[in-house]
Amino acid sequence: MEVISWLAGLQTLPALLQDPILEVMPGPVFGFLIDNLQHWGKVLEEIGLLAGMVAALAVLGGAAARLARWRSGAGAGLAAGAVAWLVVMLAVLPAAGKGLFGIAEGVQPVILWALIFAVYALVWEWLARPTVSPDPAADPGRRRFLATVGVGAASLVLIGLLRVPQWVRAAVTPPESAHQGPVPAITPASQFYQVSKNFQDPAVSANGWSLQVGGMVGRPLHLSLPQLEGIPGVTQVVTLECVSNDVGGPLMSTGRFTGLPLRDLLTMASPAQGARAVGFKARDGYTESLSLDTVMGSSEILVAYRLNGAALPSTHGFPARVLVPGHYGMKGPKWLDSIELTAGLENGYWEQQGWDRDAVVRTTARFDVPVDGALLQARATVVLAGVAFAGTRGVQAVEWTANGGKSWNPADLEAPLSPLSWVRWRASWKPASGGTSELAVRAHDGTGQVQTSDQTPSFPSGASGYHQISVVVAP
């Protein structure tokens, strides 16, 4: 299965089962797992589904063994393979939205899954075949056991080679972990945070791709990537933050995005009278929606196709994605396929799990230096630095404290690159004596409203509270 997935792009069973599991998982449970596990959550989920798949096929193999003893071994492995294939065709693929026998994706899944379970059946038959040895002292059961262990070990090694590097990159060394110290004003594309719902993100080719704009419009559009890029667009600096970002967390990046204002695209399509909402559908099945009034009232919402002067990386939604400044990243689908005008708003992918439909970013500030647990020197000047972000409201001021909030000190702000981006801040502190010190930072948005000190988890509207770090000051 893993080999065919690697060679032909077939979605594995864990990838197919992921969405149905998320659909039945209560939002608060999922939010708790995300807050506590972050990138590890998806890795552990995939490992758990792999383990469950192996256990299910082992049970099926055991049932085939009993059938073999009952019927003298005739075709038991082939029967087990056929049962597994039918379960995938009639249950797993429909649950994953692919239709019976995966008909939504054509005949290829039927053939590839048949090949996978034919291999399963043939390996079962090979391991279960009677062993004849010229040595009467030989133990057939031991030889069969060793052959089974060998097949299992080889399979684990292969899965390890194919999957473990990806798991390590996702959980241990995600892109946003590459930068240490104060972040640059523009995040390099290679360090831009990456979050998606998928085990296997889609790889979309520009050849044959087109963006469809339809529904309640007078002029449906089908735009290839060259056609989309040929329409005069804009470039704007935008900060994106994931709704699952912890207070002070790294899931926030700033890029220079180029694209076409969504309202210009919809104007070209001539919205029909009665249209009230704009729905988006992505290649990975992700859905979202915005009110038509929101879209038509903002020139900042883009269908973006470039990041930092280059084509969108595949992991960030190539060929095109939606960009909704001032809202968490969940509102901007990647790998965009279609836009449809409808009579009313519909809950998007994450809203169906209970997340906030509006997803307006909360005001936040964080320390980039020093890091939590840093060892500092008393009476030496310490640089404090970080970023603050309040979406389209902007940041008016940043303050920090080293005495539990008894007094707050102003930080110096660097001019933001745009009204849609974060603000980098900096301050100096000279600890007077040794010991442990607790530092906290907070921001005031452009309206003068200070960020809330209430500590809340990310579910359902984004995490809140002050970012606090503890440092040790040597005498």
Examine the fold and report which residue of 332, 353, 374 is the final residue of a domain before the chain moves on.
Answer: 353
Q: What's the rounded Cα separation, in Å, for the pair 470 and 11?
A: 44
Q: What is the dihedral of CA 368, 372, 376, 381, to 10 degrees?
A: 30
- Asked if the structure places residue 358 within a domain, the reply is no
Phi, psi for 160 (deg, rounded to 5) = -60, -40
394 assigned to some structural domain:
yes
**pLDDT grade, residue 86 (50/70/90)?**
very high
The CA distance from 51 to 39, in Å, is 19
pLDDT value of residue 334: 98
Say yes or no: 211 and 300 in one domain.
yes
The range of the structural domain enclosing residue 446 comes to 364-474
| % of the chain at pLDDT higher than 70 | 97
* CATH number, domain with residue 468: 2.60.40.650
Is residue 50 located within the same domain as residue 99?
yes
Per-residue pLDDT tens digits for 182-191 = 999 999 999 9
Neighbours of 44 (CB within 10 A): 14
What are the φ/ψ torsions at residue 323 (nearest 5 degrees)? -125, 120
Q: Is 124 domain-assigned?
A: yes
- Residue 176 belongs to a domain: no
pTM here is 0.87
Which helix (H) or strand (E) element contains residue 156?
helix 140-171
pLDDT, position 226: 97
Residue 359 belongs to some domain of the structure: no
Measured between alpha carbons, how far is 237 from 257 in angstroms, rounded to an integer? Answer: 6
> What's the CATH code of the domain at 330?
3.90.420.10
The pairing of beta strand 336-342 with beta strand 210-215: parallel
pLDDT at 306 over 70: yes
State whether 343 and 368 are in the same domain.
no
Dihedral sign, CA of 229, 232, 238, 244?
negative
User: How far lies 60's CA from each of 11, 63, 307, in Å?
Assistant: 22, 5, 48
Residues 276-302, mean pLDDT to the nearest whole number: 96
The residue with greater pLDDT, 128 or 52, is 52
Average pLDDT over residues 375-390: 96
Please count the structural domains in the chain: 3
The answer to whether residue 266 sits within a structural domain is: yes
Residue 97 and residue 52 in one domain: yes
Residues 214 and 344 in one domain: yes
Q: Over the range 418-452, which residues count as b (16 or more CB within 10 Å of their CB) and which as e?
A: bbbbbbbbbbebebeeeeebebbbbbbbeeeeebe
| Tens digit of each residue's pLDDT (9 = 90 or more) over 153-196 | 888 888 888 888 888 888 888 998 887 889 999 999 999 999 99
Residue 358's CB is within 10 A of a number of other CB atoms, namely 11
pLDDT of 271 above 80: yes
Greater pLDDT, 30 or 401: 401
Structural domain ending residue among the three candidates 171, 201, 227: 171
Average pLDDT rounded to a whole number, residues 389-397: 97
238 is a domain residue: yes
Same domain, 293 and 378: no
Same domain, 163 and 37: yes
Nearest to 433 by CA among 365, 376, 368: 376
CA 370 to chain centroid, in Å, comes to 28
Instruction: Name residue 162's amino acid.
Output: L
Residues 137 and 206 in one domain: no
**Which residues lie across from 412 on neighbouring strands?**
426
Is residue 181 assigned to a domain? no
Task: Tell me the C-alpha to C-alpha distance, in Å, between residue 112 and each of 93, 115, 118, 373.
Answer: 13, 5, 10, 52
427-460 pLDDT tens trace = 999 998 889 999 999 999 999 999 999 999 999 9
Rg of the chain on CA atoms, in Å: 27
Sheet of 364-369, strand order: 364-369, 382-389, 423-429, 412-413
Same domain, 347 and 413: no
Whether residue 13 sits in one domain with residue 143: yes
pLDDT for 137: 55
Distances (CA, A) of 4 to 108, 274, 375: 12, 47, 50
Both 157 and 304 in one domain: the answer is: no
Domain boundary among 320, 353, 386: 353
Those residues whose C-beta lies under 8 Å from the C-beta of residue 397, and which sit 6 or more positions away, are 410, 411, 413, 443, 444
Same domain, 200 and 299: yes
pLDDT digits (tens, 9 = 90+) for 121-159: 998 888 877 655 555 555 666 777 888 888 888 888 888
